[in-house]
Amino acid sequence: MKLEAVELIRLNVPLKSAFRTSFSSVNLHQVVWAHAITDVGEGWAECGANERPDYSSEYHTGAMAVLREFILPDLFGLGADLTAEAVAPTLHWMKGHRMAKHAIETALLDAQLRHSGTSFASYLGSTKTEVPSGVSVGIMDSIPELLGFVADYLSQGYVRIKLKIEPGWDYEAVKAVRDEFGWDIPLQVDANTAYTRHDFDLLKRLDEFNLLLIEQPLNEEDILGHKKLADYIETPVCLDESIVSADGAADAIELGAVEIINIKPSRVGGYLESKKIHDVAVAHSIPVWCGGMLETGIGRAANLALAAMPGFTLPGDTSASSRYFETDLTTPFVLENGHIKVPTAPGIGVDPIPEIIDRFAVSRELIKR
Ligand code: NPQ
Ligand code: MG
């Protein structure tokens, strides 16, 4: 295919309730979409970067700049020899910027698969028609508020609860949820790097609660620290921010620093690298699950296809659209008996709704070849 132009669209989408983690609290989700216009059709993707470099080093205007200055000129330069599979090798010279790379690789893959009439799920070799859905529950101002939200999500049918934790909001919060809802609900925690090697004894106290996993307790660069923690506690250690490639995943597994992997396509540079991480994990009997970046339907559709791959054996943060948004920007993804259906239509399988884009779009930039 030949890339004619790319439209970068910035959208501000209100959240139904504030989402607080150890690194931010937001009630307006700012999103960047990449809209690829090629000679075989159009494709859509959602950049996973946040407004600020708080979850990772990438951020909106930075991702848009690296696309405009370096990534798109290189891909325009390929002329008619461009394929989604050619993106990573073409951009191999460029260090990092995985969320920016993911945005264009995925938009091109969407255009390519819409053209060939293939769904993301069949392209990835996914086997499930629906996937079990977990939910990520933010840090709250009080335990009763937390229990209220957890009760609501359980009544909606979510099959797994993930609690955001940080120093001062950890042991008591988890204990309250176990005391209130019992020991059968699958429960896990996510620290988003909020702890250090000095907190091992505190983190060990969480072994009391039969958690599925503890996600990214330490700094994303402290692989050895996660190895030491994994040897020190019973709760399985899951890595999110630390895993940005299949080679990195293989090393962390070999070092014993990771027992479960949260795969986010935007964090690792796209669905092709995500598939490689899936295959490395399966080869080492390491369970994986699909993480989320509060995606709108455009990002959520492709994630559901990934979450339907055989090695994704734990519920993901692939929640219903209603977890975050009053109105999604595509046909909404709905929770049915704790599961969400995997799109079957060609490409990502959903389309943005023009009038809703107009409501939330704050800027549109067309970058031509
Ligand atoms: C995680 N995702 O697993 C991330 C954290 C995250 C669903 O918990 C705006 C504000 C965007 C906060 C994206 C979930 C965010 C955000 C992701 C937090 O670590
Ligand atoms: Mg996480």
CA of 262 relative to ligand 2 center, distance in Å: 7
Classify strands 361-368 and 41-47 as parallel, antiparallel or unpaired. unpaired
Per-residue confidence at 234, pLDDT binned at 50, 70, 90? very high
Point out the catalytic residue in the list 164, 228, 341, 368.
164
CA of 305 relative to ligand 2 center, distance in Å: 20
Q: Is residue 162 annotated as part of the catalytic site, yes or no?
A: no
Per-residue confidence at 97, pLDDT binned at 50, 70, 90? very high
Give me the pLDDT at residue 169, please. 98
Per-residue confidence at 237, pLDDT binned at 50, 70, 90? very high
Cβ–ligand 1 distance for 110 under 6 Å, the answer no
Per residue in 173-201, pLDDT (tens digit) is: 999 999 999 999 999 999 999 999 999 99
Counting ligands in written order, which one lies closest to the CA of residue 163?
Answer: 1
Per-residue confidence at 258, pLDDT binned at 50, 70, 90? very high
Per residue in 273-324, pLDDT (tens digit) is: 999 999 999 999 999 999 999 999 999 999 999 999 999 999 999 999 999 9
Q: What is the mean pLDDT of the chain?
A: 98
Per-residue confidence at 249, pLDDT binned at 50, 70, 90? very high
Give me the pLDDT at residue 272, please. 98
Give me the pLDDT at residue 52, please. 97
Which long-range CB contacts under 8 A does 240-245 form with residues at least 24 apart?
Answer: 240/190, 240/192, 240/215, 240/216, 240/264, 240/267, 240/291, 241/55, 241/56, 241/192, 241/193, 241/216, 241/267, 242/216, 243/267, 243/268, 243/277, 244/98, 244/268, 244/269, 245/269, 245/273, 245/277
What's the predicted TM-score (pTM) here?
Answer: 0.98
Give me the pLDDT at residue 166, please. 98
Question: Is-contact 105 75, C-beta < 8 A?
Answer: no
* Other CB atoms within 10 A of residue 148 CB: 12
Calpha distance 360→326 (Å, rounded): 12
Cβ–ligand 1 distance for 291 under 6 Å, the answer yes
Give me the pLDDT at residue 207, please. 98
Give me the pLDDT at residue 206, please. 98
Give me the pLDDT at residue 250, please. 98
Compute the average pLDDT of residues 124-136: 98
Cβ–ligand 1 distance for 22 under 6 Å, the answer no
In the numeric block, the tokens 């993901």 are attached to 316
